[in-house]
Amino acid sequence: RDIGRGEEIVINYGKEWEDAWKKHVDLWKPPPDAERYSPAYVMDEVISILRTEEEQRYHPYQENIITSCFYRYSDNKDDLVPSKTSSETTAVRWKMTRGLFEFENLRPCSILQRSPGASDSIYTVLIRNRFGLNKEERIPKGQKHIVTHVPRHAIRFTDKIYSSDQHLPNAFRHAIGIPDEIFPEQWKNVK
């Protein structure tokens, strides 16, 4: 029969899984420095004014947090201005473009400077590459890429790689045992 509105499917993972879960709950202890951990999404909700790199020397964010900016290098290649002090540094003013606020455009950035804006602070940032960027989005090796006038809403806190709860060494992991008889015969037609 079809599943009706408001009904739920409940799956029993089996006694072995249940026993492993109970043991995990009984023995689990928080990791060292757990009280200092704050997930990135919480930081975004509570911190409206971001600290510069200089300010973070004396008042750093938690170890698991980095700042990341929504930015597409390919949108700005034609607007790059070489620095007067270094041939390896380029600068560009941040601009909003269609589709910019998609996850694929989020990349590590360091807050260099904060300035008052019309309704919010604006930032000057050093944009960095991250693993998995397309070739046209990568800042050339050896080049420092500065972006000015970045609004706060284009900067997010993100968890450093492998620092979220799911990567804890004592996170619960156990195979789920689902008996074959739970599935209708027509689903089991793989020969």
pTM exceeds 0.85, yes or no: no
- How far, in Å, CA of 112 to CA of 184, rounded? 59
What was the pLDDT predicted at 81? Answer: 64
At which residue do the structure tokens 């706060």 appear?
152
In one-letter notation, the amino acid at residue 155 is: I
Q: Considering only CA atoms, which of 78, 93, 84 is closest in space to residue 146?
A: 93
Q: Which sign, positive or negative, has the C-alpha torsion 178, 181, 184, 186?
A: positive
Side by side, the strands of the sheet bearing 122-127 are 81-82, 89-93, 144-151, 122-127, 106-115, 65-70, 155-159
Burial class of residue 130, CB neighbours in 10 A (0-12, 13-18, 19+):
middle
- Could you give the count of Cα atoms lying within 13 Å of 166 in the half-sphere of its Cβ? 4
| pLDDT of res. 59 | 94
- Is residue 66 classed as helix, strand or coil in its secondary structure? strand
What are the φ and ψ backbone dihedral angles of 70, each rounded to 5 degrees? -80, 115
Hunting for tokens 């170890």 — which residue is that?
63
Q: Walk along the chain (191 residues) and give the pLDDT tens digit of each residue.
A: 788 899 988 888 888 999 999 999 999 988 887 888 888 889 989 888 999 999 999 999 988 899 999 999 887 776 666 655 656 888 889 999 999 999 999 999 999 999 987 678 899 999 999 998 888 889 888 889 999 999 999 999 999 988 888 888 888 999 887 777 778 888 877 66
